[in-house]
Amino acid sequence: MISQQTLALVGGLLLTLAAVPAWAQTALPGGFEITLLPGYAYEPKQGFDSVVGVIEKKGGLKINFEMGNVPPPGAPVFGGSLVNQALRVRENDRQWLKETTIGGRQIFVAHGKNDHLVVTSTTAKEGINFHTEAKTPADIAEVLLMTLSFREGKGK
């Protein structure tokens, strides 16, 4: 159960962020984009069979991600195929799991008992897994504000 103090902190963070000017979109490979909070930067990494990268703030959170194709139901999973990592967090190892649909994307968020936060965002064809250690409600709010902005770019 979320405490009143946690709700107040997250609500205060959202009100504070609402007063900040809009941030620029950051382009990601494959024609996607994400809105990063001030101080965060995207760094591409070399993946073997999928697109990988890091979103990081100096002295702040480090969010790793991997993107890949979602195989059709029942189809074999090959290297580079996206596996929904939020759903893979075992029930005994998580504090909670939530899912919803936003802008045509299925969103799954799992917070582990070890404070590991996984956000998976998928369509029928592609998806992305974000991973980080989120120890405070403010950490969770920052991760959600950025990862929930992930979408196809305007030029795609």
Q: Do 16 and 9 touch, CB atoms closer than 8 A? A: no
Pairing state between β 51-57 and 40-45: antiparallel
Q: Do 138 and 79 touch, CB atoms closer than 8 A? A: no
User: Crossing angle of helices 4-18/137-147, nearest 10°?
Assistant: 40
Of residues 17 and 154, more confidently modeled? 154
Q: How confident is the model at residue 19 (pLDDT cuts 50, 70, 90)?
A: very low
The one-letter amino acid at 93: D
Q: Inform me whether the pLDDT recorded for 48 exceeds 80.
A: no
**Quick one: pLDDT at residue 43?**
94
Q: How confident is the model at residue 156 (pLDDT cuts 50, 70, 90)?
A: low
Q: How confident is the model at residue 7 (pLDDT cuts 50, 70, 90)?
A: very low
pLDDT digits (tens, 9 = 90+) for 121-142: 999 889 999 999 999 999 999 9
Helix-, strand-, coil-residue percentages of the chain, each rounded to 5: 25, 40, 35
Average pLDDT over residues 22-42: 87
**Quick one: pLDDT at residue 4?**
57
* Structure token digits, residue 100: 């919803």
Mean pLDDT for the chain overall: 85
**Domain architecture of the chain: domains with CATH:** 4-152 (3.40.1000)
Q: How far apart are CA 71 and CA 81, in angstroms?
A: 7
* Structure token digits, residue 147: 């990862």
Of residues 76 and 44, more confidently modeled? 44
Q: Inform me whether the pLDDT recorded for 102 exceeds 80.
A: yes
pLDDT digits (tens, 9 = 90+) for 50-80: 889 999 999 999 999 999 988 888 878 777 7
